[in-house]
Amino acid sequence: MRVRGLTLLAILCLLMAGRVSAETVAQRIISLAPHATELAFAAGMGDQVIGVSAWSNYPPEAQQREQVASWQGINLERVLALKPDLVLAWREGNPQRPLEQLSAFGIPVVYLDPTSLEAIPTILEQLGQYSAHPEVARQNAQDLRQQLADLKTRYAHAPKHQVFLQFGTHPLFTSGKQSLQNQVLALCGGVNVFDDSKVPWPQVSREQVLRRNPQVIIITGTAADAAATRDFWSPQLSVPIITVDEDWFNRSSPRMLLAAQYICQQLAALPAQ
């Protein structure tokens, strides 16, 4: 049978495709990590987000959502009361047991754990299937890929600098080779002085850092944090200190490309060693 040039089978297929697409759009979304919140909004899902974790402060609208999780854990009772049809979680930061309980109640749980800069736009595209505005997810993913490609091209032959990525002082932590932060550094021509670490986030001593003789230190924070860091290393180590916005650098969200752009510019401005 044909109806205005279309077979009945084709019409049924189109109707079913529309139905599946409509049913996959989530209406009530809860995000359990700040980076997941940023990814959700960047995927055009902001109006669908009804609950977030503590420190979900970007974009500003996220601060208007109810907080249902913190470093202390997930308020499972409140999450269930909100009746979400999608939960966005973080394997490294969320306790597993309540997530398993949510799954047991039939609530889909999607884990957002990008392990590379390239994975961030891919996750946006994956979230697009749940978004009321998938075109936003596609466009933002495309923009991020273009930004990443531009950075790779621009800094492909950047001067190499030996860099210590410093996270905290007491205790003193740094990043190993597998982290997103190290990928940002490598993208900009920096060489992580602890890229041989066998653990992703090693705790190191002052003496270990001094033996590796970094030429640059990168920290998160403000000018005041840079001054405190300079005092901490004085007089044994006197090198340039680059400060980058903590949320940009520590969250595996689209804003990590802002951190990359800034760090690349700062390293490129330093004299070649």
Each residue's pLDDT tens digit in the chain (273 positions)? 333 444 444 434 434 443 334 558 999 999 999 999 999 999 999 999 999 999 999 999 999 999 999 988 999 999 999 999 999 999 989 999 999 999 999 999 999 999 999 999 999 999 999 999 999 999 999 999 999 999 999 999 999 999 999 998 889 999 999 899 999 999 999 999 999 999 999 999 999 999 999 999 999 999 999 999 999 999 999 999 999 999 999 999 999 999 999 999 999 999 876
* Class of domain 2-144 as given by CATH: alpha beta
Domains of the chain, residue spans? 2-144, 159-268
Distance separating alpha carbons of residues 185 and 173, to the nearest angstrom:
16
Q: Which CATH superfamily is domain 159-268 in?
A: Nitrogenase molybdenum iron protein domain (3.40.50.1980)
